[in-house]
């Protein structure tokens, strides 16, 4: 098809145009710029755009594939926002903070972080572009390959985390009966969860979200969270609810550092959200559904983690949840919900991979990444979360600070995907943001790093966008 499209272009249309120009009475000096610009446009038209022709990740999704309403977005992100990892990270907030302060930080950080997600979701839905497409539009078609590749690496890491969590949780539940103690059980469990992911990736993402998560998966997960919340609130009541609520922190973590920890989870989803939101029918619905769904999930899971840590201090979150009455069933349902988190990581990673190598379909990319993540889960110790989250936030918080500033309100984002190979100003601001994040974490950890970095990159990218637009207009004049 590409060859046929190419043969429709005249062999040398530029000579024809130049001959016509030479016959006109316009001075050659005055027509030099327009002719040069036209020469470039015709050369681009005559050359097959291999990067976008069959690359569904870098072209807007057709209207017929956009089926998500606001309830689909809300159900998806409420489900994706629930997980043992989120509950575990919530437990890190205490005893560093008191109960009141921890809850305040959780609410504010969740609303803010989910707002960033929702803003990005609206952008993906309005343009129909994937996350890789937004990166190409911001950083240039050549340089964007770097953040896309980094995104794939982080998604493999997250999937490996999820597989380890699902494996450990499953083995812990199985060993409650006193059996399944052989060393090969964790190996078998990892392979079984990996096989389930492979099976899910062979089907349709849209059908999975609309028919399974929305109708069956999400109600069961909400029921398990309600049960666990009731059980640990009962424990807090037995220990003295007022005493637990008024318990002071030891000050080992500042409020802004805790805020970074809360924002870290929604920030980790920023490179994925457009891959799902582009399937929405309306940008405003994607915005509202994503914000509502993820805010509720993040507040609930972080708060539950704090409640568990206050009432049942333990370094093992799975063991602490199993101590609750009915905890085995509730934990089992949450583990099942972890599957959609791993699936979401792999699906987004496969879309990103397709943008780099479009000859591989999204489904094929998903299969390869699932096998790789399962293999890594068998051999890597994936239990230390904080360094991993720090690295991810330092990369993707400034990355999306620039994306949001540059693309928000732009009338034709799609045209930017192939407009230039490298957008140097965007690249420099992103690198400055990464540096700022690590400097803040090292030199002033009590001030946090996420908000200063986000503010710096957004302001610089917004100001330089205006300057860049003016220079483009003057160059075209």
The domain limits of the chain are 2-46, 63-383
Burial class (CB in 10 A: 0-12, 13-18, 19+), 183: exposed
Q: For residue 83, what are the CA distances in angstroms to 77, 216, 224, 399?
A: 12, 17, 11, 25
Q: For residue 131, what are the CA distances in angstroms to 94, 117, 263, 352, 396?
A: 35, 12, 19, 7, 12
Cα–Cα distance for residue pair 190/192, rounded to 1 Å? 5
In Å, the largest CA–CA distance within the chain is 95
**pTM for the structure as a whole:** 0.83
Phi-psi region of 204 (alpha: psi -120 to 50; beta: other; left: phi over 0): beta
Cα–Cα distance for residue pair 326/213, rounded to 1 Å? 23
| Residue 33 pLDDT | 43
Burial class (CB in 10 A: 0-12, 13-18, 19+), 474: exposed
Cα–Cα distance for residue pair 426/389, rounded to 1 Å? 23
Cα–Cα distance for residue pair 428/450, rounded to 1 Å? 18
| Residue 202 pLDDT | 87
Q: Do 226 and 325 form a contact (C-beta atoms < 8 A)?
A: no
Q: Do 245 and 99 form a contact (C-beta atoms < 8 A)?
A: yes
Cα–Cα distance for residue pair 365/349, rounded to 1 Å? 8
| Residue 24 pLDDT | 44
Rg (the chain; Cα; Å): 25
Cα–Cα distance for residue pair 52/132, rounded to 1 Å? 12
| Residue 386 pLDDT | 54
7-11, Cβ contacts within 8 angstroms, sequence gap of 24 or more? 9/42, 9/45, 9/46
- Please name the CATH architecture into which domain 63-383 falls: Orthogonal Bundle (1.10)
Cα–Cα distance for residue pair 447/257, rounded to 1 Å? 7
For the chain, the first-to-last Cα distance in angstroms comes to 37
Residue-wise pLDDT tens for the chain (477 aa)? Answer: 334 443 444 444 444 434 444 444 444 444 444 444 444 444 434 333 344 557 899 999 998 889 999 999 999 999 999 988 899 889 999 999 999 999 999 999 999 999 999 999 999 999 999 999 999 999 999 999 999 999 999 999 889 988 988 898 888 888 877 777 777 889 999 999 999 999 989 888 888 887 778 777 788 889 989 999 999 999 999 999 888 898 888 988 999 999 999 998 999 899 999 999 999 999 999 999 999 999 999 999 999 999 999 998 777 787 788 777 777 888 888 888 888 899 999 999 999 999 999 999 999 999 999 999 999 999 877 666 556 656 777 899 999 999 999 999 888 999 999 999 999 999 999 999 999 999 998 998 888 888 999 999 999 999 988 665 544 444 344
Q: Do 201 and 368 form a contact (C-beta atoms < 8 A)?
A: no
Nearest to 154 by CA among 387, 401, 362: 387
Cβ neighbours of 315 (radius 10 Å): 7
Cα–Cα distance for residue pair 123/146, rounded to 1 Å? 21
Cα–Cα distance for residue pair 378/374, rounded to 1 Å? 7
């Amino acid at each position: 098809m590409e060859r046929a499209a190419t043969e429709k272009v005249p062999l040398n249309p530029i000579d024809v145009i130049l001959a016509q120009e030479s016959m006109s009475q316009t001075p050659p000096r005055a027509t030099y710029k327009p002719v040069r610009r036209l020469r470039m446009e015709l050369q681009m038209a005559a050359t097959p755009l291999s990067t976008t022709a069959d690359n569904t990740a870098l072209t807007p999704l057709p209207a017929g594939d956009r089926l998500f309403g606001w309830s689909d977005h809300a159900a998806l992100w409420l489900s994706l926002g629930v997980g043992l990892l989120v509950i575990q990270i919530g437990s890190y907030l205490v005893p560093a903070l008191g109960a009141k302060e921890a809850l305040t930080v959780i609410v504010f950080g969740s609303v803010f972080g989910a707002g960033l997600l929702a803003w990005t979701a609206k952008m993906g839905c309005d343009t129909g572009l994937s996350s890789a497409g937004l990166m190409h539009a911001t950083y240039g078609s050549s340089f964007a390959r770097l953040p896309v590749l980094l995104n794939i690496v982080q998604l493999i890491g997250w999937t490996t985390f999820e597989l380890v969590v699902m494996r450990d949780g499953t083995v812990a539940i199985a060993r409650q009966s006193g059996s399944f103690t052989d060393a090969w059980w964790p190996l078998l469990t990892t392979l079984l969860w990996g096989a389930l992911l492979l099976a899910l990736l062979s089907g349709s993402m849209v059908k999975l979200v609309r028919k399974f998560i929305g109708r069956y998966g999400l109600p069961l997960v909400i029921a398990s969270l309600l049960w666990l919340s009731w059980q640990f609130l009962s424990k807090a009541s037995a220990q003295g609810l007022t005493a637990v609520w008024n318990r002071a922190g030891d000050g080992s973590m500042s409020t802004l550092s805790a805020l970074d920890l809360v924002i870290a989870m929604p920030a980790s989803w920023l490179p994925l959200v457009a891959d799902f939101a582009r399937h929405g029918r309306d940008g405003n619905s994607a915005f509202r559904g994503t914000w509502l769904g993820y805010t509720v999930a993040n507040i609930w899971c972080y708060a539950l983690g704090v409640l568990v840590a206050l009432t049942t201090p333990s370094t093992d979150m799975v063991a602490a949840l199993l101590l609750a009455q009915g905890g085995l069933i509730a934990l089992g349902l949450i583990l099942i919900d972890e599957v959609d988190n791993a699936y979401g990581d792999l699906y987004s990673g496969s879309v990103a991979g397709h943008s780099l190598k479009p000859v591989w379909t999204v489904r094929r990319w998903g299969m390869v990444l699932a096998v790789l993540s399962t293999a890594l889960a068998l051999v890597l110790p994936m239990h230390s979360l904080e360094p991993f989250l720090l690295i991810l936030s330092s990369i993707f918080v400034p990355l999306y600070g620039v994306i949001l500033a540059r693309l928000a309100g732009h009338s034709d984002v799609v045209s930017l995907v192939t407009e230039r190979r490298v957008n140097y100003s965007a690249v420099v601001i992103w690198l400055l943001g990464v540096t700022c994040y690590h400097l803040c974490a090292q030199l002033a950890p009590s001030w946090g790093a996420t908000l200063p970095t986000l503010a710096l990159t957004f302001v610089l990218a917004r100001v330089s966008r205006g300057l860049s637009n003016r220079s483009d207009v003057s160059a075209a004049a």
